[in-house]
C-alpha cells in the first residue's frame, strides 16, 4: 500500500511546512520541494514498469524505434518541465514558472519537427509536380 | 519509499532549530551571528535538496530513455 | 501479404494504445495539447508508412533505371565503328536484294514479251544488272535463250547482254548466234532490235541464242 505511505508523507510534510513557515519561510519552501521530489522518485519506479511493458510491446509489434523514443522523450520533457514550474510557482515566481512551461512546450514541438518534416515531404512527393 | 522519509523530518528539524537559534541570538543582541546561522542552515538543507534533485533528474532520464 | 498487413495494423494499434497511456501519465493539462499533437503525427506516420515504403522503392527504381541506361548508352556509344559497319552491311544486303528482285522481274517481262511477240519459246532469260556510283541500277547484259516452236528445228538461243549506257565493258559479243539457218538469224536480229528499243541498251549487251526445236 504505497498510496498510504505517499499520503502520510504528504500530510506530515504539510504540517511541518505550516509550523516552519511562521519562523523561516525559506525552510518551508525547501521542505515542500523536498517532499515533492521524494514522492516523485517513489513513483518513478512504477512509471518505469509501465514504460518497460509498453516498450516490450512496441518491440514485439515492430513499432519503429524512432517513434517510441520520441514519445518517451516528450513525456520526460513534460514531467521535468512540470516539476520545475511547480517548484518555482511554489516559491512565488509565477513568471519564471511560465517560462519553464514555455520551454517545455517548445522542446516538445522541436521533438516533433522531424516527424512533421517527413510527413510534409511525403505529401509533396505524392502530389504531382 | 522509506528511502528518504527521515530527511523530511531532518529538514523540518533543522528549520525549527535554526529559527530558535536565530531568535535566541537576536535576543542576545548578536544579530550578526543570527544571520550567519540562518545562512548556514539554509546551505545545508539546500545541499540535501540539490542531491535529491540530481537523483530525480537521473531517474527521469533513465525512465524516459534520454540516452543521448 | 497478410503478414505485412498484420504488422502494420499491430503497429497502429500499439501506437494508439501507448498514446492513451501517455495521456493518462501526463502530469498536467497545459502540456496535453502539445503531446496530443505529436502523438497524432506519429500515428499518421505509422498509418502512412506503406506509402513511404512505396515512394522509397520508386526512387530506388528510378536510380536503377538511370544507371542501367547509362551503362547501356556507354556500351552503345563506344563501338560506333561497329554500328557503321553493320549499317553498311545491311545496306549492301538490301541493295543486293533489290538487284535480284529487279533482275527477276525484268527477266519475267522479257520472257513474256518475246514469247508473245515472236511466237517462240523462251527457255531462259537472264538479266544482269549493276549498281552505278549513284546507287542506281543499270542493265549490264541481257541473255535470252529461245527455241523456235513451229519448225522441228532447234533454234539456238540468243543471249544478249546489255550494259548501262555507262562505259561498262561488255564481255559478250553482240551475237554468239550460231543460227542454223537464215530464219534464225533474222529472228535473232529482230529480237535484238526489239530488246534494244524496249530496254534502251546497245547491241553489244544483248546476247541471243536460238535453239532448234526438239
**What is the ipTM metric for this complex?**
0.78
Residue of C nearest to A52 (CA): C18
Specify whether A74 is located in the same domain as A125. Answer: yes
**pLDDT tops 60 at residue C86:** yes
Pick A31's closest partner by Cβ from B3, B15, B60. B15
pLDDT band at C89 (very low <50, low <70, confident <90, very high): very high
Residue where the block lists cell 547484259: C141
Let me know: does C21 contact A74? Beta carbons within 8 Å: no
**Residues A114, A81 within the same domain:** yes
C200: pLDDT strictly greater than 50: yes
The whole-angstrom separation of Cα A107 and Cα C122 is 105
In this model, does residue B53 exceed pLDDT 60?
yes
Same structural domain, C123 and C57: no
Asked if A30 and B46 touch (Cβ cutoff 8 Å), the reply is yes
Containing domain of residue A79, as a range? 64-129
Cβ neighbourhood burial of C124 (10 Å; 0-12, 13-18, 19+) = middle
Chosen for mutation from A112, A117, A118, A124 (greatest number of chain C CBs closer than 10 Å) is A112
Pick the last residue of a domain from A28, A62, A96.
A62
> Average pLDDT of C38-42?
84
Using the predicted structure, report yes or no on whether residue C161 has a pLDDT greater than 60. no
Domain co-membership, A76 together with A95: yes
- Judge whether B46 lies within some domain: yes
End residue of a domain, out of A9, A40, A62: A62
- Domain of residue C46 covers 2-76
In whole angstroms, give the CA distance from residue A30 to residue A36.
Answer: 10
Q: Answer yes or no: do A24 and A79 share one domain.
A: no
| Nearest chain A Cα distance for residue B18, angstroms | 9
Q: Is the pLDDT of residue C14 over 80?
A: yes
pLDDT average, residue stretch A21-31: 86
Whether residue C161 is contained in a domain is answered as yes
- Asked whether residue C62 falls in the same domain as residue C112, the answer is no
Q: How far is A121 from chain B (nearest CA, A)?
A: 26
B56-65, C31-40, C65-74, C118-127: the lowest-pLDDT one:
C65-74
Count: domains in chain B: 1
Task: Kindly list the residues from chain B whose CB atom is less than 8 angstroms away from the CB atom of residue A82.
Answer: none
Rounded Cα distance between A26 and C164, Å, is: 126
Same-domain pairing of C38 and C128: no
**Are residues C108 and C153 located together in one domain of the fold?**
yes
Question: Which pLDDT does position C61 carry in this prediction?
Answer: 56
Residue C68 confidence class, pLDDT cut points 50, 70, 90: low
- Number of domains, chain C: 2
**Residue A124 pLDDT:** 85
Residues in chain A, total = 129
Q: Which residue from A67, A70, A122 is facing C51, i.e. has the nearest CB?
A: A122
User: pLDDT-based confidence at C93, cuts 50/70/90?
Assistant: very high
Task: Judge whether residue C63 has pLDDT over 50.
Answer: yes
> Among candidates C137, C139, C150, C155, which has minimal Cα distance to C195?
C139
Q: Quick check: is C147 in a domain? A: yes
Domain containing B29 equals 2-63
Same domain, C112 and C199: yes
Strand partners, C154: C212
A85 plus A52 within the same structural domain: no
CA nearest C24 in A: which residue?
A: A75
Q: What's the mean pLDDT in C95-108? A: 86
Q: What is the DSSP letter of A48?
A: H
| Residue appearing with cell numbers 519562523 | A23
C117 assigned to some structural domain: yes
| Section C58-70 average pLDDT | 61
Residue B3: the pLDDT is: 65
- pLDDT tens digits, one per residue of A82-92: 888 988 998 88
pLDDT at residue C152, as a whole number: 47
Rounded to a whole number of angstroms, the distance from the CA of A34 to the nearest CA of chain B is 6
In this structure, the answer to whether residues A84 and A25 fall within a common structural domain is no
Is residue B68 domain-resident?
no
Residue of C186 and A102 predicted with greater confidence: A102
C140-155 pLDDT, tens per residue?
777 777 777 655 444 4
Amino acid at each position: 500500500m504505497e498510496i498510504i505511505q505517499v499520503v502520510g508523507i504528504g500530510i506530515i510534510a504539510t504540517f511541518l511546512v505550516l509550523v516552519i513557515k511562521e519562523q523561516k519561510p525559506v525552510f518551508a519552501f525547501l521542505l515542500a520541494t523536498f517532499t515533492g521530489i521524494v514522492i516523485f522518485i517513489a513513483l518513478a519506479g512504477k512509471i518505469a514498469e509501465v514504460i518497460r511493458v509498453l516498450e516490450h510491446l512496441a518491440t514485439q509489434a515492430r513499432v519503429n524505434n524512432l517513434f517510441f523514443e520520441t514519445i518517451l522523450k516528450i513525456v520526460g520533457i513534460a514531467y521535468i518541465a512540470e516539476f520545475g514550474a511547480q517548484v518555482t510557482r511554489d516559491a512565488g515566481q509565477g513568471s519564471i514558472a511560465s517560462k519553464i512551461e514555455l520551454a517545455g512546450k517548445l522542446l516538445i514541438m522541436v521533438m516533433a519537427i522531424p516527424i512533421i518534416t517527413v510527413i510534409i515531404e511525403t505529401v509533396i512527393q505524392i502530389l504531382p509536380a | 519509499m522509506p528511502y528518504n522519509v527521515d530527511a523530511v523530518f531532518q529538514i523540518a528539524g533543522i528549520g525549527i532549530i535554526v529559527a530558535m537559534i536565530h531568535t535566541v541570538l537576536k535576543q542576545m543582541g548578536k544579530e550578526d551571528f543570527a544571520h550567519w546561522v540562518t545562512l548556514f542552515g539554509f546551505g545545508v538543507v539546500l545541499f540535501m535538496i540539490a542531491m535529491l534533485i540530481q537523483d530525480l533528474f537521473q531517474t527521469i532520464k533513465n525512465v524516459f530513455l534520454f540516452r543521448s | 501479404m497478410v503478414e505485412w498487413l498484420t504488422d502494420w495494423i499491430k503497429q497502429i494499434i500499439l501506437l494508439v494504445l501507448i498514446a492513451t497511456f501517455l495521456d493518462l501519465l501526463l502530469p498536467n493539462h497545459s502540456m496535453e495539447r502539445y503531446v496530443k499533437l505529436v502523438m497524432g503525427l506519429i500515428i499518421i506516420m505509422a498509418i502512412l508508412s506503406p506509402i513511404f515504403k512505396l515512394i522509397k522503392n520508386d526512387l530506388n527504381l528510378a536510380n536503377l533505371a538511370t544507371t542501367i541506361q547509362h551503362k547501356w548508352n556507354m556500351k552503345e556509344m563506344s563501338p560506333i565503328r561497329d554500328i557503321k559497319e553493320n549499317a553498311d552491311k545491311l545496306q549492301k544486303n538490301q541493295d543486293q536484294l533489290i538487284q535480284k528482285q529487279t533482275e527477276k522481274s525484268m527477266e519475267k517481262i522479257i520472257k513474256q514479251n518475246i514469247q508473245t511477240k515472236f511466237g517462240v519459246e523462251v527457255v531462259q532469260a537472264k538479266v544482269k544488272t549493276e549498281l552505278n556510283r549513284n546507287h542506281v541500277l543499270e542493265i549490264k547484259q541481257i541473255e535470252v535463250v529461245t527455241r523456235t516452236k513451229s519448225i522441228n528445228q532447234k533454234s539456238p538461243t540468243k543471249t544478249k547482254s546489255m550494259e548501262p549506257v555507262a562505259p561498262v565493258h561488255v564481255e559478250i559479243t553482240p551475237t554468239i548466234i550460231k543460227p542454223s539457218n537464215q530464219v534464225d538469224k533474222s529472228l535473232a536480229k529482230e529480237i535484238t532490235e526489239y530488246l534494244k528499243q524496249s530496254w534502251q541498251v546497245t547491241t553489244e549487251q544483248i546476247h541471243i541464242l536460238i535453239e532448234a526445236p526438239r
